[in-house]
Amino acid sequence: MEKRELGKGGLLVNPVGLGCMGFSHAYGEPMEKSSAVRMIRKAWKMGYDFYDTAETYWGTYPDGTVSYNEELVGEALKDVRDKVVIATKMGVSHNADRSLRVDSRPETIRKSVEGSLKRLHTDYIDLYYQHRMDPNVEPETVAEVMAELIKEGKIRAWGISEVTEDYLRRVHAVCPVTAIQNRYSMMARWHESLFPLCEELNVAFVAFSPMANGLLSGKYTPATRFDKEKDYRSDMPQYTEEGYAKAEGLLHLLEEMAKEKQVTMGQLSLAWMLNKKPYIIPIPGSRKEERLRENFGAGDIVLSAEEIAAIDTKLDTMQFDVFGGH
């Protein structure tokens, strides 16, 4: 399995990373802490070496105690710290209605990085993201703070999640960006317009929700019930009757191709983007060992340019209801 470079910053990782959010945030009640730590550790033994978390990924247990995602990642990886790349994020908190509150003021960034370093049990962060653009803070101001943190050795590289072309150009001119992290899947392709800019600036594209929050795994149907209070999928349009109906053509296509390739639907959806561009790194997540192993194996699947083009041609004829859609 050939490594991929995050931008041109010298950070080399395997093609599939691990999105750790679901261990404690947005996908139901947090996983029991020791079990989550063991699962993250198992992922390391499978070959995962790129882990994604954020300061805002946390959840509460029925007794009111809190599971902080960064603490799980830090505990699991502290004795292999020099062998892994850890990415975390700042600048976002969640309102009661699940909407986002953004804050990227310099003093907030500095307070956040110290908190993340402590929770991650480390003295440096490999890749530090601005979780969302803040309309109240100039892009250049954010980039200047990130440049300072790099000089201070607190972070090795930085990036932005859900970035636009104009914003990326502005910050990159001040402090070169190593990676962007945007939503991307067969059902969410609107950020493909950023590919030429990624190539121009040598910026990696880290794809979150690469299986449309699980739908493209083929494991869920409209009959699947999610916890209304703790599982964000309960409000996602792709899991409604109407949204699922719009995705059925794609799911059928994936099922047929997966059988032909002797892979799973989830693996095929990951292989599609991995073979499309050498700088795309998906970060699917799961709490299940067999699913983690399956996702990681997608890095070995080869699709030809003709096969990818054929899939894209069919996708161009489809319209989806998907969370985060335009």
Neighbours of 118 (CB within 10 A): 13
The answer to whether the predicted template modeling score (pTM) of the entire model surpasses 0.75 is: yes
Alpha carbon separation from 4 to 16, 46, 279 (Å, rounded)? 9, 17, 7
**pLDDT at residue 106 is higher than 60:** yes
The average pLDDT across 108-124 equals 98
Cα–Cα distance for residue pair 36/48, rounded to 1 Å: 15
Per the residue annotation, which of 27, 48, 51, 57 is the catalytic one?
57
**pLDDT at residue 98 is higher than 80:** no
Q: Model confidence over 171-211: pLDDT tens digits?
A: 999 999 999 999 999 999 999 999 999 999 999 999 999 99
The average pLDDT across 67-82 equals 97
**pLDDT at residue 267 is higher than 80:** yes
> Phi and psi for 307 in degrees, rounded to 5?
-65, -40
The average pLDDT across 106-111 equals 98
Q: Model confidence over 273-317: pLDDT tens digits?
A: 999 999 999 999 999 999 999 999 999 999 999 999 999 999 999
**pLDDT at residue 228 is higher than 60:** yes
309 residue type, one letter: A
Cα–Cα distance for residue pair 257/166, rounded to 1 Å: 38
Cα–Cα distance for residue pair 151/158, rounded to 1 Å: 12
Where residue 325 falls among pLDDT bands split at 50, 70, 90?
low
The pLDDT of residue 240 is 84
Question: Do 50 and 18 meet the contact criterion of CB atoms below 8 Å apart?
Answer: yes
Cα–Cα distance for residue pair 159/178, rounded to 1 Å: 6
Continuous segment of H or E residues that includes residue 179: strand 179-183
Where residue 220 falls among pLDDT bands split at 50, 70, 90?
confident
Alpha carbon separation from 118 to 150, 172, 212, 224 (Å, rounded)? 17, 28, 32, 38
Phi-psi region of 91 (alpha: psi -120 to 50; beta: other; left: phi over 0): left
**pLDDT at residue 1 is higher than 70:** yes
Where residue 99 falls among pLDDT bands split at 50, 70, 90?
confident
**167 vs 26 pLDDT, higher one:** 167
Average per-residue pLDDT for the chain = 94
Handedness of CA 268, 326, 159, 312 (dihedral sign): positive
The average pLDDT across 260-283 equals 97
108 residue type, one letter: T
**Size of the chain in residues:** 326
Residue 57 falls in the annotated catalytic set? yes
**Structure token digits, residue 103:** 């804050």
The pLDDT of residue 254 is 94
- Of 105, 106, 3, 104, the closest CA to residue 47 belongs to 3
Alpha carbon separation from 175 to 34, 104, 105, 143 (Å, rounded)? 38, 16, 17, 6
